[in-house]
Amino acid sequence: MKQVSATVVSNIELMPGYHLVCVDAPDIVATSKPGQFVTVRCGEEFTLRRPFSIHQITRTGQLDFFFKVIGKGTSRLSLCRKGEKLDILGPLGNGFYVKPASKKLLLVAGGIGIAPLTFLAQQALAQQKSVTLLLGVHTKDKLYPHKLLPSEIKTITTTEDGSYGEKGKVTDILSRYVNLADQIYACGPLAMYKEIAKQRQRWREKKSIHISLEVRMGCGIGACFSCSIKTKNGMKRVCLDGPVFNLDDILLEEVRI
């Protein structure tokens, strides 16, 4: 974990209210793993940092994070300009684990849930694994640009209003692909996780599913316990023990976003 003053390389509004920020942070990139996150000071007027999944990295030490503007902190961050310095701390948390023997990965992204899964796909492809991505959004206007995904990914898209791809939620098509995967990873809203857990009970082979959990954080380093959740193995801190957990271990009804 390092605290750095990272230079903004670019800030692109991919869709209205959704930004992709790239910073030069080689010291953080050097030890980053898929599923981990960074915290960013969004301005001197904000006491708490904001957490963001590591979206992608480059060999030259650049790091991307993708976020939706939802409050004053992210609103301030959305205004950052090329050349500006950002105070960033990371990498933080525990990330995704891919078994060496796994050859086929299935990624399930609901909306902004694409944020941590792109880095996972990036690494998996570099290890000669195949990656299938199920990407679900409400409408075409909220769809993450396919051109920004690694070209080797097989992507199947759903929109709830039918404006692009298959009509429906991403969980509506999940059962078609689970038996083709060695490992399954998901990131999305709590309702999506509950539906996956429900469907999983009907699967012939109940494969483990690793999810990236998003809850409100305070310090981001495990000191304040504000992001604690109940699990089958006791209380866990999302920022320190997660944000990646086995879906089976989480008491979903007890999670408060």
pLDDT of 89-100, one tens digit each?
999 999 999 999
Is the predicted pLDDT of residue 114 greater than 90, yes or no? yes
pLDDT of 143-188, one tens digit each?
999 999 999 999 999 999 999 999 999 999 999 999 999 999 999 9
Is the predicted pLDDT of residue 20 greater than 80, yes or no? yes
pLDDT confidence tier of residue 68, bands split at 50, 70 and 90: very high
Q: 2-92 in CATH: which number?
A: 2.40.30.10
- Mean pLDDT computed over 77-86: 97
- Mean pLDDT computed over 26-38: 98
Is the predicted pLDDT of residue 257 greater than 80, yes or no? no
CATH topology of domain 104-205: Rossmann fold (3.40.50)
pTM: 0.95
d(CA 175, CA 172): 8
d(CA 212, CA 108): 11
pLDDT of residue 205: 83
37 close to 51: Cβ distance less than 8 angstroms: yes
d(CA 15, CA 257): 24
Domains in the chain: boundaries:
2-92, 104-205, 213-257
CATH topology of domain 213-257: Dihydroorotate dehydrogenase B (pyrk subunit); domain 3 (2.10.240)
Continuous H helices in 38-77: 72-77
